[in-house]
Chains A and B, each alone.
Chain A
Amino acid sequence: MSASSTTPSAGTTPRRVRVAGRTKLDFWFDAVILLAYTVAYSYGFTGVVIHEWLGIGIGIALLLHLTLHWDWVIRTTRRLLDPRGHDKVIWLVNLALLFAMTLCVASGIAISRVALPELGITTLQTPFWFRLHVLTAEVTVGLVPVHVALRWRWIAGVGRRMLVWRPRGRSQ
């Protein structure tokens, strides 16, 4: 991705504030995951087919999201024992979310009625996996907004920089 959303031009035409490509990728990728999760959780809206394929997509997106933020995971984990270390609450929320969402996707795959049978894969369909899917989905729907909201300053900052137009000549 390019590192800038503007092209240099002379004059006083307004321009968007420069936002790093990686920051834009994080912002939009995370927004899409949040939207996809909200839709996938609304089973009564999607029906079984979209619910299952969207869930598999979210599973893949979860792997990419974790990979993109793996440096933060390592850095914050190392600082956990430091009394002055930050992000302890976020680390705990993220750990709980990792467990809940992974088990939610895994149990969803285990009880798949459409997506996996269509690929020729036999699923388990046991009450344990069904109950685990419902339980972890309910935990996840509580943790996802917390996970997002704990980064509200970053979201507000990046959103403002990407959406607000400033006249040329002003400092960023």
Chain B
Amino acid sequence: MKFLRQFAAVVAVVAVVVLLGLAWNRFAPSLPGEGPGGEAVPVQGSMIKAAPHSVRLSPGGHPGAHEVLRIDNGGALGLDLGDLLQPENLAVLRYTAELEAAIMAAVVIVNASYRSVRRSRRAKTGMPPPRDTDLR
């Protein structure tokens, strides 16, 4: 019962955010970096992704998740399951994983340093350590 009550509250919060998105589209349909009419997306050849800031993957370059990776798939929009383990496609996944790992490492270093400084400051003043919340 408690779970259902909390689930209903979550659905309500998410619905509010979606409604804000719809209102954004209705009353101010422009986003950072684009004009009111949207941005034209040039599409040439058989591309599997053509985001507004798309670039063709240069030799030796890192393919971002929203960059274009040119693969000859006969002009089809998507990839089939057999394409998943192609080395050129795996590079996209590796790039995302490396990006996330780099951000995580940076946050952990900053957070650990901050905790270390705060702990030494508390040790000097004789204050008790803070209680962690939500950690079981």
Contact = CB atoms under 8 A, between A and B. Distances in A.
B79 interface: yes
B134 to A, nearest CB: 5
Interface size class, chain B: 35 or more
Interface residues of A, number: 59
Given A128-B30, A132-B25, A148-B104, 15 more contacts: A42-B92, A44-B67, A45-B84, A63-B7, A72-B133, A87-B133, A102-B17, A103-B17, A130-B41, A131-B34, A131-B39, A134-B66, A135-B31, A153-B135, A154-B132
Contacts of A41: 65, 96
Contacts of A50: 81, 84
Contacts of B37: 127
Interface of B: 3, 6-7, 9-11, 13-14, 17-18, 20-21, 24-25, 29-32, 34, 37-39, 41, 48-49, 51-53, 63, 65-67, 69, 77-81, 83-84, 89-90, 92-93, 95-97, 99-101, 103-108, 111-112, 130-136
Identify whether the interface residues of A are mostly helix, strand, loop, or mixed: helix
